[in-house]
Amino acid sequence: MSRVEPVRGWGKRLWAWFRARGERGLRVLHDDLWTWRADPLPPSVWLRWFPHGMVCLAAFGVLLGDAAQLGDNGGVEPGFGFVIAVAQGGAMAFALWRPVAAWWLSLGAMLVGAFAVRAEMVADGSRFTWPWPAAGIIGHMVVLLLLALRVRTRVSLEALVLTALATYVVQGVVGALNYQPTGQLAVILFTVVVVLGIALRGRREARSQLAEQTSLTAEERARRTLLEERGRIARELHDVVAHHMSVISIQAQVAPLLVKDPPDELRENLAGIRQNALEALTELRRVLGVLRSEHPDGLETPEGDAGAVPHAPQPTLDRLDALVENTRAAGLTVTTDTSGTRRPLPPGVELSAYRIVQEALSNVLRHAPGAHAQVYLVHLPIGLRVVVSNTRPKRAPAPSQGAGHGLLGMRERVAMLDGTLTAQPLPDGGYQVAAFLPVDHPDLPTDPWPDPSPDLSADPSTDLSTDVSADLSADASADRSTGPSTDASAGPSTDPCPGPSPGPVSARSPAPFSAPSTEDDTP
């Protein structure tokens, strides 16, 4: 093999590489610039269609100026010059909808006009601004600006390079007899407007991405807040479920001792029940471990229970008086009242009622300083109604410190028990949170509601008597027509402070990841 063969093989490979790259570049140029794709300029946010009107007005001015320059100074036949001017001015208006096609039209009008003027040039004649007339430069600048605002940066640079290349070929290679060169100035101005358009487009895209990211961040924060609140509720209910499972296990173990000579089948069934209960307790502890994985030190305390230990029993309504006393010690005037016959309630209902009162009073402390609050419990045959209201605050609340879980936690607890929740401002400037927690009693009549609550207007610290009566009457009407399980309105996720509030929304099936209130409504 001769020494030339390796060099020849290397040259063939290099030529193949350059050919492949050239073909790829031509395909990219074809896809980017040889298109009829529509890319309209959207209306301005504040000025609406004002930019479109200004471009059309400028296009009309370029049409008149270009036609006058080509006809009077360039020596082009007036009719032909007018056609070139129409193409140059029309490209500006056309760029509002199809910028790439408009750029081709403007560049083509420039080339046709340049060669038409060149044909009329004489050595001793007047010097004409060539190859770009003044009106043509303005028109092509507007077209390149609109192009850079609507297409990718690569396409804008490709159009700029081809414009500069065409200008160089016409002026530097072809040339003319007697003219005033405008190619260098035109290319500089075209570069400026393309860079400006790319910068404005990048700024617009950055703002759009920032708004999208902000929206995603808000949704993610709402999702995380909801999951955290559900995890906290699940941790609180662990003690209730574990207690029942422990009782089942003990009863299954003791039951054979209460029967004289129990059969083997009974012993086996009870042993199976006890084994299943123990396994359920084990799995429950594992699930609780996953829920508490974010707090390995185990020092998380229930909200509002300052100084509570991790393994303290979950609170019930028996501790409501202590909660009210602690709230009074914090500087809030609170009155309590109850009606109806108190019956044993499930532990989950007791815990939820306590937490609703706790969070509502915390919200009053934070968002209604100086107001008076009232806690009103209505014991009904089919459940428990909890109403916490406050009067108008006497001074402005402190600035919010961030997102809270107050009303979100209330809504989740009420939805878990298939109850109802309303949170809304009162006519006097106060706020009211009302929740109904149902208790299943299949042997009760269909209309167990008692008479409306007694008149509490004598208490100057509350404005709740009329509201509670109206709420009870409305709920009773709904239960007579549809049953207790059909009224599912729950208040919006807003802070219990004076201010506008949207209408009640469903609390039984809240949207799992709908954006909750981001105001600070927890202590």
Q: Which residues lie below 8 Å from residue 62, measured CB to CB, with a gap of 6+?
A: 85, 88, 89, 92, 135, 136, 138, 139, 142
List pLDDT tens digits, range 385-406: 999 999 999 888 877 654 456 7
pLDDT band at residue 426 using 50, 70 and 90 as cut-offs = very high
With the C-alpha atoms ordered 145, 151, 156, 157, is the resulting torsion angle positive or negative? positive
Identify which of 378, 385, 399, 411 has the alpha carbon closest to the alpha carbon of residue 512.
Answer: 411
| Higher pLDDT among residues 49 and 137, named by residue | 137
What the block records as the tokens of 179 is 């003219």
> To the nearest whole percent, how much of the chain has pLDDT over 90?
36
Q: Is 2 a residue whose pLDDT tops 80? A: no
Indicate the DSSP class of residue 315: P
Amino acid in the structure at residue 173: V
Predicted confidence (pLDDT) at residue 498 exceeds the cutoff of 70: no
Say yes or no to pLDDT of 497 above 50.
no
Cα separation of 341 and 186, whole Å? Answer: 91
Query: pLDDT class for 223, splitting at 50, 70, 90?
Result: confident
Q: What is the pTM of this model?
A: 0.49
Q: Which range among 120-124, 132-136, 163-167 shows the weakest confidence by mean pLDDT?
A: 120-124
For the segment 176-187, the average pLDDT, to the nearest whole number, is 92
Secondary-structure breakdown of the chain: helix, strand, coil percentages, each rounded to the nearest 5: 55, 10, 35
pLDDT of res. 293: 54
Nearest partner of 494 among 479, 504, 486, judged by Cα: 504
- pLDDT surpassing 50 at residue 420: yes
What is the distance, to the nearest Å, from the Cα of residue 207 to the centroid of all Cα atoms in its chain? 15
Mean pLDDT of the chain: 78
Long-range own/partner contacts, residues 510-517 (CB < 8 A, 24 or more apart): 510/411, 510/412, 510/415, 512/226, 513/219, 513/222, 513/223, 513/226, 514/222, 515/218, 515/219, 515/222, 516/222, 516/225, 516/226, 516/407, 516/408, 516/411, 517/404, 517/407, 517/408, 517/492, 517/493
In this predicted structure, what is the pLDDT of residue 331?
84
Contacts of 9 (CB under 8 A, 6+ apart): none
Q: What percent of the chain has pLDDT over 70?
A: 75
Closest Cα to residue 384, out of 431, 329, 434, 323? 434
Question: In 3-state terms, what secondary structure has residue 378?
Answer: strand
Average the pLDDT over each of 61-70, 113-122, 433-442 and give the range with the smallest value: 433-442
Burial class (CB in 10 A: 0-12, 13-18, 19+), 40: exposed
> Higher pLDDT residue, 287 or 275?
275
For 74, phi and psi rounded to 5 degrees? -90, -15
pLDDT (0 to 100) of residue 305: 46
**Contact of 409 with 391, CB cutoff 8 Å:** no
- Residue-wise pLDDT tens digits, 332-378: 899 999 999 988 888 888 888 998 998 899 889 888 888 999 999 99
pLDDT for the residue numbered 14: 84
Q: What pLDDT was estimated at residue 392?
A: 93
Question: Is 319 buried (19+), middle (13-18) or exposed (0-12) by CB count in 10 A?
Answer: middle
Convert the pLDDT of each residue in 224-280 to its tens digit.
887 777 777 776 776 677 777 777 888 888 888 888 888 888 888 888 888 888 888
Higher pLDDT, 253 or 307: 253
Residue 453 pLDDT more than 60?
Answer: no
pLDDT tens digits for range 24-69: 888 888 888 888 888 887 777 667 788 899 999 999 999 999 999 9
Q: What's the CA gap between 408 and 410, in Å, rounded?
A: 5
- Is residue 472 within 8 A of residue 385, CB to CB? The reply is yes
> What are the DSSP calls for 74-113, one per residue?
S---HHHHHHHHHHHHHHHHHTTT-HHHHHHHHHHHHHHH
pLDDT score of 132: 94
The answer on pLDDT for 488 being more than 50 is: no
CA neighbours within 13 Å on the CB side: how many for 440? 4
The predicted pLDDT at position 109 comes to 95
- DSSP letters, 470-519, are HHHHHHHHHHHHH-TTS--EE--S--SSSS--PPPEESSS--TTS----S
> Nearest 5°: phi and psi at 55?
-65, -45
Query: CB atoms < 10 A from the CB of 496, how many?
Result: 32
Residue 473: band (very low, low, confident or very high) from pLDDT cuts 50, 70, 90? very low
Please indicate whether residue 309 or residue 4 has the higher confidence score (pLDDT): 4
pLDDT at residue 21 in the model: 87
Which among 99-108, 203-212, 362-371, 457-466 has the top mean pLDDT? 99-108
pLDDT-derived band at 501 (thresholds 50, 70, 90) equals very low
User: pLDDT category, 158, cuts 50, 70, 90?
Assistant: very high
* Higher-scoring residue by pLDDT: 223, 293: 223
Q: What per-residue confidence (pLDDT) applies to 376?
A: 95
Is residue 298 predicted with pLDDT exceeding 70? no
- Tell me which of 22-31, 321-330, 379-388, 405-414 is least confident: 405-414
Q: What is the 3-state secondary structure (H, E, C) of 35-68?
A: CCCCCCCCCECCCECHHHHHHHHHHHHHHHHHHH
Query: Which of the four pLDDT bands, split at 50, 70 and 90, describes residue 516?
Result: very low
Evaluate whether 298 touches 310 at the Cβ level (below 8 Å). Answer: yes
- Beta strand 128-130 with 179-181 is parallel
Residue predicted with more confidence, 129 or 5: 129
Average pLDDT for 116-141: 90
